[in-house]
Amino acid sequence: MATTFRNLWHLGFVNLVRARAPANISVHPEAPLAVEPQRADMVLLRKEGVPGEGGEARVLRGLWPLLGTDTVLEFKSPAQSAFRRGDLLRLWGYGVQYHVAQIERLSGYRALTLVLVVASVTRTLLRELAEMDWTLVRLGGGYGRIDGAVYATYLVVTDEVAEAEQDDFLRIFSHRPVLSAEARRWLQQWVRPEEGAMQDVKELEGYDEMLQKLLDSLPAERRLAGLAPEERLAGLAPAHQLLALSDVVLRGFADEYLRSLPAEVQDAIRRRIGRP
């Protein structure tokens, strides 16, 4: 049965990890952890007898060697306030539930790893660490270890990992701009999928933010392509709309009129028409 997602960020991130994880990791999205509809964003299981480690991974390359046989992963999107108070403790609770559910199979608590993926370290996260008396140890490259939580617990900061590993696909899931055309096309398939290809992504939480991420990655001329002139100028103050006029028209403005415009508009026009 196909997995149904509630959040487009999560749908994209799961597919990024699934496509780029090493061969000995299987990805199980929206994994049920209890009888009640309580789900972890991902459970990562190390495959027995399958070679491969972080060296062949194409995403989160510093993470895979840190993991036990089973990992419960919680992903927080780069949307504002995605990490809320209690989210780290909730991840720990998921770990306990998973441990109980798999207690006959797991070799012990050391076999289980918890991973929190965030775009940046926020004051809310630091406050929660302090409240739990846990310690964040920076490992470098955007990775960190959270000590004191019984289970081996790691933090992944996508803003930092994307830069350290020069991963333009991971930049999609950070506050960093998307730079390459390849990553932009990958993002576009989630924001504008072919008809009938998947669930209606426009109904998912995070759709508007992912669409904005795609638009922000496009050159200005592509963002404006297909828009009528009035749509291109929508939202601009009347004085700023003057900058859309041709230089020929701008040269016809009298100095007295130019002096009546806001300073930044006046300066821009004078530079374009070469008038002091």
Which of 40, 67, 192, 177 lies closest to 119, judged by CA?
A: 177
Residues 65 and 190 placed together within one structural domain of the fold: yes
* Torsion angle (degrees, nearest 10) of CA 33, 34, 39, 42: 10
Contact between 6 and 74 under an 8 Å Cβ cutoff? The reply is no
Say which residue the tokens 């060296």 belong to.
55
Q: Is residue 224 part of a domain?
A: no
Per the document, the length of the chain is 276
Q: Which of 217, 244, 265 is the last residue of a domain?
A: 217
What is the pLDDT, as a whole number, of residue 138? 98
Q: Which of 217, 245, 263 is the last residue of a domain?
A: 217
Domain that holds residue 185: 8-217
Residues 190 and 243 placed together within one structural domain of the fold: no
Q: Is residue 209 part of a domain?
A: yes
Residues 109 and 244 placed together within one structural domain of the fold: no
SS3 of 43, please?
strand
Q: Is residue 31 part of a domain?
A: yes
Q: Is residue 222 part of a domain?
A: no
Pull the structure tokens for residue 30: 């929206």
Contact between 25 and 44 under an 8 Å Cβ cutoff? The reply is yes
| pTM, full prediction | 0.71
- Taking the C-alpha atoms of residue 61 and residue 22, their distance in angstroms, rounded to an integer, is 9
Q: Using pLDDT thresholds of 50, 70 and 90, give the confidence band for residue 234.
A: low
The mean pLDDT value for 95-109 works out to 93
AA identity, residue 114: L
Say which residue the tokens 């028409």 belong to.
273
Q: Using pLDDT thresholds of 50, 70 and 90, give the confidence band for residue 149.
A: very high
Q: Is residue 66 part of a domain?
A: yes
Residues 120 and 242 placed together within one structural domain of the fold: no
Residues 117 and 241 placed together within one structural domain of the fold: no
- Taking the C-alpha atoms of residue 213 and residue 178, their distance in angstroms, rounded to an integer, is 8
Q: Using pLDDT thresholds of 50, 70 and 90, give the confidence band for residue 198.
A: low
Selected residue with higher pLDDT from 196 and 205: 205
**Bridge-partner residues for 197, per DSSP?**
none
Q: Is residue 3 part of a domain?
A: no
- The H-or-E segment that residue 238 falls in is helix 238-241
What is the pLDDT, as a whole number, of residue 193? 66
The mean pLDDT value for 109-115 works out to 96
Residues 19 and 125 placed together within one structural domain of the fold: yes
Residues 34 and 92 placed together within one structural domain of the fold: yes
Q: Using pLDDT thresholds of 50, 70 and 90, give the confidence band for residue 36.
A: low
Q: Is residue 1 part of a domain?
A: no
- Taking the C-alpha atoms of residue 241 and residue 234, their distance in angstroms, rounded to an integer, is 9
Domain count for the chain? 2
Residues 38 and 78 placed together within one structural domain of the fold: yes
Selected residue with higher pLDDT from 11 and 242: 11
Residues 209 and 233 placed together within one structural domain of the fold: no
Q: Is residue 120 part of a domain?
A: yes
Which of 84, 163, 148 lies closest to 114, judged by CA?
A: 148
The mean pLDDT value for 8-29 works out to 93
- Taking the C-alpha atoms of residue 276 and residue 264, their distance in angstroms, rounded to an integer, is 14
Residues 100 and 123 placed together within one structural domain of the fold: yes
The mean pLDDT value for 177-205 works out to 78
Q: Using pLDDT thresholds of 50, 70 and 90, give the confidence band for residue 34.
A: low
Contact between 251 and 229 under an 8 Å Cβ cutoff? The reply is no
Residues 175 and 254 placed together within one structural domain of the fold: no
Residues 158 and 242 placed together within one structural domain of the fold: no
